[in-house]
Structure 1
Amino acid sequence: MTARGVYRWTVLAVIVVCAVVSYAVISHRLGGPAAPKPGPRPDFQLPFPCGEVWTLTTYPGHDDYDIDFFAASGPTGGRTVLASAAGTVQWAGWSATLVDGRPAPPGSSGTRGGLGYGVVLDHGGGWFSEYGHLAADPQVRTGEHVERGRLLGVVGHTGSTSVDHLHYEQLDDTRDPKRTRGNGDKVEALFDGVPSGITSDAHSPDQTRTSRNCALTSAPPPA
């Protein structure tokens, strides 16, 4: 066989090998496990008693979908915090750190980071909600099942704040294959099926909402 013939056969063999490898890769991807999808979104309600009016805010430097709740009238501190949907307590307790990274003493405020006294609820289907800066130890315990409207605690200013308010998040854990419930899992919160309007830490105007976290057998408050 001439040198040109050897060259042609070599090129042809390389093309065939590349085609086989490409086919194998594509087939593996198509036949591999599909990305998980979230279950039905829970009917989240404001995490406050029925009929109460609250202001939803954020600020530059906040994560885009994080909400800070302030009472629309009267003092914010000491207000009741309720489960915004039924679920299981994934975590309840104390979490905060000092500027140097050491754990902050329970009950301290103005720390470098952390929810302070807080609660994380697992609603199933990949859905979670978080509640932070409670005034004292939560009224629920890890592993406990709670119904919507269950008392979680009261508004305070523990952890990485010195101002009374409730820090709140809704998360879709299926967005992150590692299931870390990090920033990439946060989504715009919905309350009573209506988007919160808090989507950007620098550009979301304040919103005012009335809680419809009412007894399941009672009528919602007037609009």
Structure 2
Amino acid sequence: MSAREIYRVTMLGIIVTCVIVSYVVLARRADGHPQQAGPRPAFQLPFPCGESWSLTTYAGHDDYDIDFFFNGGPSGGRSVLASAAGTVAWAGWQATLEGGAPAAPGTVGTRGGLGFGVIIDHGGGWFTSYGHLQTWPEVKQDQKVPQGRLLGHVGRTGSTKIEHLHYEQHDDTRDSKHTRGTEDKVESVFDGVPSGITSDGSAGTGPIRTAGPVSPSVNRTSRNCP
């Protein structure tokens, strides 16, 4: 092969590589999802400033899921606030009955579902989920909300019979399908401090999928202040 032919083959290879790289970059942009998480927002407890809450979990709950109970009295009816600023990705009703059929809005003790709930997109692949609210959320889908915005009030709708707030933090870049499901759940961090709620102790639930002790309950005071 002559020097000119080698040159042509080399240049052709460079052109093909550039085309492939450009396609991948454009495809990722079109997908609308970051490929690597941005900086974690400065999440705060989803409750008014100064309130003390117990963070708990239980076997089979899903790793990293948190159930919040108010330390100063009944949890029901207490205000639920946005942990950080963002855009409402979903706000409404979601729950299913034993047979898989949708449950009527306001149903308590369903097989699955957040009941009345909210999911907020904080940008950079970060999301938070809030479940079991008393009634329809105080915010709408696509609404921009500041940190501390009232989302609703603690209830017991959906897959629970006990008044509490179900809460999750998600790194959406961990799941290639971007479902905001089990695989992209992460340990919640509040005011820069890890929550300590990690394992639910069950190998059958993710994303850790390891049998062992259930994370003990911890108490935290909200710094979600004006």
Residue type of the partner of 1:213?
A: N
The corresponding residue for 2:166 is: 167
- Give CA-to-partner distance per residue, 1:13-53, whole Å, 9 cap, x none: xxxxxxxxxxxxxx99xx66699110111000000000000
Aligned to 1:71: 70
Higher mean C-alpha deviation, range 111-120 or range 171-180: 171-180
Separation (CA, whole Å) in 1 of partners of 2:181 and 2:119: 13
Q: Distance in 2 between matches of 1:192 and 1:58?
A: 20
Corresponding residue for residue 218 of structure 2 = 207
Query: What residue in structure 1 maps to residue 175 of structure 2?
Result: 176
TM-score by length of 1: 0.81
Give CA deviations for 1:124-146 in whole Å, capped at 9, x if unaligned.
Answer: 00000000000000000000000
Task: Read off the aligned partner of 1:133 and give its amino acid letter.
Answer: H
Give the equivalent residue in structure 2 for 1:197. 196
Residue type at the aligned position of 1:207: V
Note the C-alpha offset of 1:73.
2.0
State the Cα distance separating 1:182 from its structure 2 match.
Answer: 1.4
SS of the equivalent of 2:167 reads strand
Task: Quote the Cα distance in structure 2 between the aligned partners of 1:73 and 1:154.
Answer: 16
The match for 2:93 is: 94
AA at the equivalent of 2:153: V
Matched residue, 2:115:
116
Query: How many Å separate the matches in 2 of 1:161 and 1:177?
Result: 30
Q: In 2, distance between residues paired with 1:73 and 1:143? A: 34
**Aligned residue for 1:103?**
102
Indicate the structure (1 or 2) with the bigger Cα radius of gyration: 1
Q: How does 1:19-38 map to 2 (within 5 A)?
A: 36-38=35-37
Following the alignment from structure 1 to structure 2, what is the Cα–Cα distance between the partners of residues 195 and 95? 29
| RMSD of equivalent CA atoms | 1.7
Aligned-pair CA distance for 1:112: 0.4
Alignment partners' CA distance in 1, 2:110 and 2:177: 28
**Post-superposition CA distance 1:172-200 (Å, at most 9, x none):** 00111211111110000000000000000
Once residues 175 and 39 of structure 2 are traced to their aligned partners in structure 1, the CA distance between those partners, rounded to angstroms, is 17
Residue by residue over 1:98-129, the C-alpha shift from the partner in whole angstroms, topping out at 9 and shown as x without a partner, is: 00111001001000000000000000000000
2:135: which partner in 1?
136
| Structure-2 separation of matches of 1:155 and 1:69 | 9
User: What SS does structure 1 have at the residue aligned with 2:168?
Assistant: strand
TM-score (norm 2): 0.80
SS of aligned partner of 2:173: helix
What secondary structure, in the 3-state scheme, does the structure 2 residue paired with 1:37 have?
A: coil
Gaps of 5+ in 1: 1-26, 216-223
Q: Which residue of 1 aligns with 2:11?
A: none
Structure 1 distance, partners of 2:221, 2:58, is 21
List 4+ stretches of structure 1 deviating above 2 A. 31-35
